[in-house]
Amino acid sequence: MKNRGIFITATDTGVGKTVCTAVLAALLRSRGIKVGVMKPVTSGCIVIDGKLVSEDAELLKWAAGATAPDGDISPYLLSAPLAPSVSAFLDGVEIRFQTIREAYERLAASHDIVLVEGAGGLMVPLTESLLVSDLILYLGLPAIIIACPNLGTVNHTLMTCFCAQRMGIGLKGIIINNYPECPGEAEQYAPSMIETRSNVPVIGSFPHVVGRHPAAQVGAILEKISGTPLEKALEHLCSSPLPHGTI
């Protein structure tokens, strides 16, 4: 596979970006693809043995079987569970995009693909003047949007798509996470409404998994999509070039 990178963003925080990114990483790894993973900025880190640890990055490392240095996988670890710009200020940390890009380039040099998970959505402030969307553009990566199935997701997802398109961010597709086994009317109609109005493909939905550790959630999702058209679509999504006209 030719080296490439993909940025994973979402319509909001708490939508399930990390689990979805881990599913993609584990799926590609199972196909013999060397997957790099990166969580450039994590706020709300936990303390283990006196050190800040990103639980999100740990899940991604496990899913990808990553052996790269922690400093490249998670360059910025912040204490407070607040917007990264605020958490960084409280910790006395200056987030520099150049540092993130250098770490990304080291990962890209030794992997077939690098999955970069953002913080929250596109408009989350990373510094006093720069947003997650600015980081995506700075890295020059296309994005996948993770959305939720709930009532209101059409509005949230279309706003995210239109914002990305207006900024010049290439969109590879949308994945709807936590899709219920018995969807209501709003949940049934949302995917087609989003795809039609955004002109961005809805690749498919990851099923809702109840009450499990994140690693177990990843395994359960992989098991449920195994052998389905969605599994093939995800492989193609991560290996195909962007449509003409996008970055």
Element (H, E) at 9: strand 4-10
Residues identified as active-site: 39
Distance (Å, whole) CA 80 – CA 181: 35
Distance (Å, whole) CA 233 – CA 224: 14
CA dihedral 238, 246, 129, 114 (to 10 degrees): 20
Return the amino acid letter for 153: T
Tokens 């607040």 — which residue? 82
Contact 75, 126 (CB under 8 A): no
- Number of Cβ atoms within 10 Å of the Cβ of 66: 23
Contact 158, 198 (CB under 8 A): yes
Single out the residue of 52, 177, 60 nearest to residue 116, CA to CA: 60
